[in-house]
Each structure stands twice: as C-alpha cells, then as structure tokens.
Amino acid sequence: MSVRGAAAVVAAALGLTGCLGGAPPLGSVIDRAPVELVGTPFHPQTALQCGPAALATVLEDSGVRGAGPEALSDRLFLPERGGSLQAEMLATARHHGRVPVRLAGNMQAIADALAGGDPVLVLQNLGTPWTPVWHYAVVVALRPDAETVILRSGRERRRHEPAGDFMRSWSLAGRWAFVAAPPERIPAFADLRGWLTAAAPAESAGQLDLALAAYDAAVARWPEAALAHAARGNALHARGDVTAARAAWRAALERDPDLKAVRDNLAATADGSPEPTGGM
C-alpha cells in the first residue's frame, strides 16, 4: 500500500483533507468510555508494506510469535498490485492459527472490540473513490473527548487522526475491519453466526485443528446453539472421528430437530460409513 505522504498529496490537491461533511461526533455514535490498548505492538511500515505491518501487529498482539512483517511479506505482498489483498490478509491470519472475525461497519463495533482488548485492523482509502490510495492500519483507541482515532499506522506508533477523517477514509474502503482472535477465545462482541462464519473457511481449507478449536469454543459459549454442535460434528467428521461427529450431530438435533442436513448426516453414517450427505 502507498505511504501516507502520497495520500496527503492526492487529498490536498482535491481539497479533501478536512472532516467528512455531516459526520456525526464520535461521542454520539459510541456508548463506551475511551480506552487505549497501549500494549499493542508496533511494526513501522516500510514502502508499500502496510498490509504485512498491520497484520503482524494484530497477530503479535494475539500471541503469535515469529510473524513479523518480513515473514509475512512473501505471502501477502503482491508487487503487481502494490499491496496486499483483503482475502489474503484473512487467509494469512488463519494460516497463523487465528480466527479473523469481521466487524460490523460502524464505530460502535470498533469501540466494542477495543473494550474487549482486541485491536482492530482496518482498511482505509486515503484518496478518493476515483483515485483510491489503499492503506491498512490498526485502531488502538477512540477518543470522543478529542474527536480522535488513535492508530498504529505507517511509521507512527500513535497516529492521532481526526475522527471525521477516519470515518471518511474507512467508509471509502467499505468499512472493512477485523480482529485476529485465538480460536479458544471468542471476542466479547462476536455473535454465534459471526463466529461460525469466521471459522468456517479454516475448515474448508483443511485447517481442521483451528476450525475444531473454534467450534469447541462456540459450544462452550453457546451450549444450546444447535448450529455450534452441528459445525463441530462436521469438523470432527472431516478429521475422521465418525463416532464423535455423530455424538455432536445428535446434540445438535436435541436442540433443533428440524436440521435436515444433520439428520441426513446421521443417516449416512449409521452403518459406520465415513461419508455424510451434507453440511449443517
């Protein structure tokens, strides 16, 4: 991604450096007291490497070691695109044993994540809809008293960005954001479907230990949720543990007898067959 200096030139030339017209005050769109995650690591960005730097920041914060920007760059950085793609950011988080949980596209969602101790990786467009300048950064604080968002960004450990400017640049990038969570620790803000949606690609990619750990956590947090048990059963079956998978599917049906796909899976494995007929 381009460094902030280039973005500033573009924005200044087009008269777009001020706050987004009509953007509501930060204090009116979040309901939490200010919190700053001061312990969040910082990896200064080198040229075009904001993706690896931002992802290294949230991975290290979540407990991953040995995943600095240099180690991530070969996997993430696409020279022909001059940066890193969103899909690869999520896939690389999973590669390093983390569940990338997408946030709802509002400031309250960021505030909720920060309150739970999770720094938020965001995509910004520092240019315009016609001349985008893409940039990844990590939000570590919201300061409604000062109308400021504090980020690990570029070469700045604590970039104080006017809230209106941040809202504008984040909105121009589709309000894309995620946190990198260990599979055994569901973020406080996450709901069941959001967590299962975040974990499912790991199962599809054959990262069964990661997926199963995430589903185990879902069952522990939402023990009466049929979908959590069903997902756990699917991952167990994919790992070859038919007996445990059938037990998980039965637990799902006890909570929701109308899950036809789960019934089909039980029927398909009734004679010890390794092949279910469908998913959840």
Residue that is written with structure tokens 């001349």 in the block: 131
**N-terminal to C-terminal alpha carbon distance within the chain:** 39
Cα(73)–Cα(84) distance, integer angstroms: 9
* Cβ neighbours for 144, distance < 8 A, ≥ 6 positions apart: 25, 26, 27, 30, 34, 163
Q: How many residues does the chain have?
A: 280
What integer pLDDT is reported at residue 178 of this predicted model? 98
- For 141-164, how does the pLDDT look when each residue is reduced to its tens digit (9 = 90+)? 999 989 999 999 999 999 999 999
Select the more confidently predicted residue: 253 or 47: 253
Split at pLDDT 50, 70, 90, the class of 219 is very high
In angstroms, the CA 199 to CA 194 distance is 9
> How many of the other CB atoms lie within 10 Å of CB of 194?
16
Letter for the amino acid at 36?
E
What mean pLDDT comes out for the span 34-58? 91
Between CA 138 and CA 110 the distance in angstroms is 11
pLDDT for residue 268 is more than 50? yes
Q: Mean pLDDT over all residues of the chain?
A: 88
Question: What domains can you pick out in the chain, each with its CATH number?
Answer: 4-181 (3.90.70.10), 192-268 (1.25.40.10)
- Give me the pLDDT at residue 73, please: 85
The confidence score (pLDDT) of residue 29 equals 86
Strands (E) across the chain are located at 99-102, 120-125, 134-143, 148-153, 156-162, 177-181
Phi, psi values for residue 265, rounded to 5°: -65, -45
